[in-house]
Amino acid sequence: MLEIKNLTVRYGGITAVKDISLTIGDREAVSLIGANGAGKTTTLHAISALLRLASGRIFFDGTDITGIGAEKIVGMGIVQVPEGRQLFTKLTVEDNLRMGAYQQKDKAEIRRLMDRAMTCSRWCGSAAGSWPARSRAANSRWWLSAAR
């Protein structure tokens, strides 16, 4: 599903990530673990096209996505969930989910994805969508952020 080949990223003359390769299969969960400054965030930003690669290739579902824009990568379904969750706390759970679907044009698909998120979440229930995001417990806010 996601394959990184010989990825190198530099900030000016400083090499932040050097020659890493990684393959993540469909439905696999992978963690990048390392000390501060080890290149975890840099790697994620490179995958998301937020940083330019010095060398290497990135493939998603067999398609080379190296060098395509971040907006196209998001449209393919590759997104990051920020550590701080960064929810729209004054909006409802459902409105937060809608914000995450802004690139999706198919209204039926948006509804299907929102129903799936509500079903899979820890804050499921018919009334949950109308609850303010700020009213959720920390773990529920994480799920909402991930679903968005």
Top-confidence residue, 121 or 7: 7
**pLDDT over 70 (residue 26):** yes
Confidence of residue 42 (pLDDT cuts 50, 70, 90): very high
**pLDDT in the model for residue 119:** 67
Region 120-147 average pLDDT = 55
Q: What is the DSSP string of the chain?
A: -EEEEEEEEEETTEEEEEEEEEEE-TT--------TTSSHHHHHHHHTTSS--SEEEEEETTEE-TT--HHHHHHHT-----TT----TTSBHHHHHHHHTTT---HHHHHHHHHHHHHHSTT-STTGGGSBGGGS-HHHHHHHHHH-
* Residue 126 clears pLDDT 50, i.e. is over it: no
Q: Which whole number is the average pLDDT over 124-146?
A: 55
Question: Degrees (nearest 5) of the Cα angle 6, 77, 24?
Answer: 40
Greater pLDDT, 69 or 6: 6
Query: Could you read off the pLDDT of 52-107 as tens digits, one per residue?
Result: 999 999 999 999 999 999 888 888 888 776 665 567 677 777 776 777 676 777 88
Q: Residue 77 has which token pair?
A: 């379904």
Of 16-30, 37-51, 52-66, 78-92, least confident by mean pLDDT is: 78-92
Which band of pLDDT confidence, cut at 50, 70 and 90, is reported for residue 45? very high
pLDDT at 4: 96
Which is higher by pLDDT, 30 or 89?
30
CA distance 84 to 72: 24
Whole-prediction pTM: 0.65
126 contacts 118 by C-beta, under 8 angstroms? no
- Cβ neighbours of 128 (radius 10 Å): 17
Pair 117, 147: CB distance under 8 Å: yes
Alpha-carbon separation of residue 118 from 4, 29, 32, 78, 128 (angstroms): 32, 21, 28, 20, 8
